[in-house]
Chain A
């Protein structure tokens, strides 16, 4: 009985092939669009998260309490060398860096300029995820050397070989002043460094700012990526001395960023919803037309002894088969599209004004290069579920109409 119902439903679909094809196309296009959108959002979200929790932010940070609000130079992490060793030894930690961020005045001649002197482990931060990712070995400054952010260098007229006077405040309250030699100009994805950054070796910054074995921040990257930051923070909390410090994941360090990502997600859901409505309208239209067109035939079936319940089943099966077939085709096409995009990547920097900028900047972080859309199985599921539900709902009315047909009148009409 079920077999014959399905067969009847299938044959009915084949009757008006053009209409069925149109309905299939509508559903397939909708699912393709949903998947393309999902893929793009996955790629975009990951690229965003990667960039935002990139070198400057990391996945988690350790500071002295209140350092983030006050930025007072004397709010330091003591015994940073030992703590760093312990942090790096944690199994969930991919890498960790100690950093000093000291506001200072820098002068090439007499005019002072406000900068941030970043004292970092330059050799280590050249690796992936570090502030100086990709810096060639030859770019490592000398012991008393400094790398100057590109915009800052342009604005002040700093060139390689210049001797810069640095004036700031030491952690002990004293005047910190010293001379550094510019060994390179730095172009990073981080605007702040390009505009105001002077990067020196951690040891030199510790010396200039009177911070023996101290730093302002330990920046941590976890093995689990940005999504696992909470677990990372929990692990970091167990490090000796961490109870005196502030250990925070990236989404608490920059709540506005995680909010932005949330909003992007909600926006995606809204689009998904709209696409579903369009698909539903397609299915409903097809089923309504199919039912009303076949009044005569349905009346005949009824008069031959087919029960109204079976008629309902036939119509509903028709709708579900139509929907599923559409989604399948759509999933295939969408999958193919996203796979292609994944292989080639989408370089959206090409879309912008070529002359204005090569990169896109969001929250002071430059997005460079392409994004790579991808899909997971879970991205396809809502389409299937949604279309089946929508198909059934959309076919219920025509099915009910069919079930209530008066056989004689239907055949006459």
Chain B
């Protein structure tokens, strides 16, 4: 009996041993922060994204093309469904405009509406104008192993006095410390407000990235927004003039 137990234990240790050695290599915080900051960013990019919004009562899928340049220029053009085709959102710095082809009008989103939903999704207008920089705005810390034992828990606390929605963002990253698995966003009162899951890691245009992002707000049960990268070009040639109001209105 005792012999059997000893054998089992030995077997367990034997099995666990490689993970333990690997686990002892804590990920490098600086490196990790850089990875998280630059995961999807590039000088200029063009992507095609499919967004699925689920509410307790329905599910809607939209397809869109996204042009970006640097940290603060973005243009999102809805391609389907047909009712919204041609609708565009332009971001320049902290400003957001919506172009509505049906009435050929452009509306700037006022600051008071920044926390409202963007296109009926769980993303807010604010999400589109925020460029979170973990390097500059947060204090990072490798807390230890993730709760479920796989990967690492990284905690970012917003600098004192930083204006922003989130006081703390927690990441669970993979074992190697190269990709995020999960992010938890805590609001100013330290309540868990939303959870983002990073799934379906694939190589796209030479980068290994999670190609499906699932956002679940905690205050609204049954709501979920899924963003799937269908195409990605990280080294696109996108001119500054793409992000102008006239261009927005001319594009039809």
Interface residues of chain A, those whose CB is within 8 Å of chain B, are 70, 72, 74, 103, 105, 107, 110-114, 165, 167, 169, 172-175, 177-179
A114-B112, A167-B98 are contacts. A173–B58 as well, Cβ < 8 Å?
yes
Stretch at the interface among B101-109, B137-145, B188-196: B101-109
Known: A169-B117, A173-B53, A175-B100. A113 touches B110 (CB 8 A): yes
For A110, list chain B residues within 8 Å (CB): 97, 106-108, 245
Bound together, the chains give a CA A111 to CA B109 distance in angstroms of 7
Instruction: Give the bracket for the number of chain B residues in contact with chain A.
Output: 20 to 34
Interface CB pairs A-B, < 8 A, 12: A74-B55, A74-B57, A107-B107, A110-B245, A165-B100, A167-B100, A167-B107, A172-B58, A173-B55, A173-B120, A175-B87, A175-B120
Residues of B within 8 A of A (CB): 53, 55, 57-58, 60, 81, 83-84, 87, 97-98, 100, 102-103, 105-110, 112-113, 116-117, 119-120, 220, 245
Q: Is the CB of A112 within 8 A of B113?
A: yes
In this complex, what residue of B is CB-closest to A107?
B107
How far is it, in angstroms, between the C-alpha of A103 and the C-alpha of B113 when the chains are bound? 10
Residues of A within 8 A of B107 (CB): 105, 107, 110-112, 165, 167
Taking the closest CB of chain A, its distance from the CB of B76, in whole angstroms, is 13
CA distance A167 to B110 in the complex (A): 12
Task: Please tell me if the beta carbons of B113 and A114 are within 8 angstroms of each other in the complex.
Answer: yes
Check A112–B109 contact: CB distance below 8 A.
Answer: yes
Q: Is the CB of A105 within 8 A of B58?
A: no
User: How distant is B88 from chain A, measured CB to nearest CB, in Å?
Assistant: 11
**Further pairs besides A114-B110, A173-B120: 15, Cβ < 8 Å:** A74-B55, A74-B57, A103-B116, A105-B109, A107-B107, A107-B108, A110-B107, A111-B108, A112-B108, A112-B110, A165-B103, A169-B120, A174-B120, A175-B120, A179-B105
Chain B residues contacting A175 (CB-CB under 8 Å) are 83-84, 87, 100, 119-120
- Minimum CB–CB distance for A145 against chain B, Å: 16
Among B84, B98, B102, residue most surrounded by chain A Cβ atoms (within 10 Å): B98
Q: Is the CB of B113 within 8 A of A177?
A: no
B220 CB to closest chain A CB (Å) equals: 8
Residue of B nearest to A74 (CB): B57
B110 contacts which chain A residues (CB < 8 A)?
Answer: 105, 111-114
CA distance A160 to B103 in the complex (A): 20
A181 to chain B, nearest CB (A): 12
The smallest beta-carbon distance between A174 and chain B, in angstroms, is 5
- How far apart are the CA atoms of A113 and B108 in the complex, in Å? 9
Complex CA–CA separation, A173 to B122 (angstroms)? 12
Smallest beta-carbon distance A155→chain B, Å: 12
Q: Determine the distance from Cα of A67 to Cα of B53 in the docked complex, in whole angstroms.
A: 20
- Nearest chain B CB to A100's CB is how many angstroms away? 17
How far is A70 from B221 in the complex, measured between Cα atoms in Å?
A: 11
Query: In whole Å, how far is A115's beta carbon from the nearest beta carbon of chain B?
Result: 10
| B-side contacts of A113, CB under 8 Å | 110
| Nearest opposing residue in chain B for A111, CB measure | B108
Question: Smallest Cβ distance from A42 to chain B, in angstroms?
Answer: 42
A114→B114 CA distance, assembly (Å): 11
Q: With a CB–CB cut-off of 8 A, which chain B residues contact A74?
A: 55, 57-58
Determine the residue in chain A with the shortest Cβ distance to B102. A177
How many angstroms between the C-alpha atoms of A205 and B87 in the bound complex?
A: 21
Least CB distance from A106 to B in Å reads 8
Closest beta carbon of chain A to B129's beta carbon, Å: 14
User: B residues within 8 A CB of A111?
Assistant: 107-108, 110
Across the interface, which residues of B come within 8 angstroms of A177, CB to CB? Answer: 100, 102-103, 105
Which residues of A lie under 8 Å from residue B108 when comparing CB positions? Answer: 107, 110-112
Provide the bound-state CA to CA distance between A98 and B110, in Å.
30
* CA gap between A70 and B108 in the complex, in Å: 25
CA distance A107 to B104 in the complex (A): 12
Q: Report the Cα distance A135→B119, complex, angstroms.
A: 36
> CA A165 – CA B105 in complex, angstroms?
7
Contacts of B103 in A (CB 8 A): 165, 177-179
- In the bound complex, residues from chain A placing their C-beta under 8 Å from that of B116 are 103, 114
Question: B112 contacts which chain A residues (CB < 8 A)?
Answer: 114
Question: B226 to chain A: closest CB distance in Å?
Answer: 14
Q: Chain A residues near B60: list those with CB within 8 A.
A: 173-174
Q: How far is the CA of A261 from the CA of B59 in the complex (A)?
A: 45
* Residues on the B chain within 8 Å of A114, using CB: 110, 112-113, 116
CA distance A177 to B101 in the complex (A): 9
A175 to B102 CA separation, bound complex (whole angstroms): 11
Distance to closest chain B CB from A171 (angstroms): 10
Q: Are A174 and B109 in contact (CB under 8 A)?
A: no
Given A74-B55, A111-B108, A175-B87, answer yes or no on A105-B120 (Cβ-Cβ < 8 Å). Answer: no
**Once the chains are docked, how many angstroms separate the CA of A70 from the CA of B220?**
9
Contacts of B109 in A (CB 8 A): 105, 112
Contacts of A103 in B (CB 8 A): 116
| Closest beta carbon of chain B to A180's beta carbon, Å | 10
Contacts of A165 in B (CB 8 A): 100, 103, 105, 107
Residues from chain B with Cβ under 8 Å of A107 in the complex: 105, 107-108
Give A306 Cβ to nearest chain B Cβ, in Å: 81
How far is A322 from B57 in the complex, measured between Cα atoms in Å? 74
Which 10 pairs from chain A and chain B are nearest by CB?
A165-B105, A112-B107, A107-B107, A177-B100, A173-B60, A179-B103, A173-B120, A111-B108, A169-B120, A110-B108
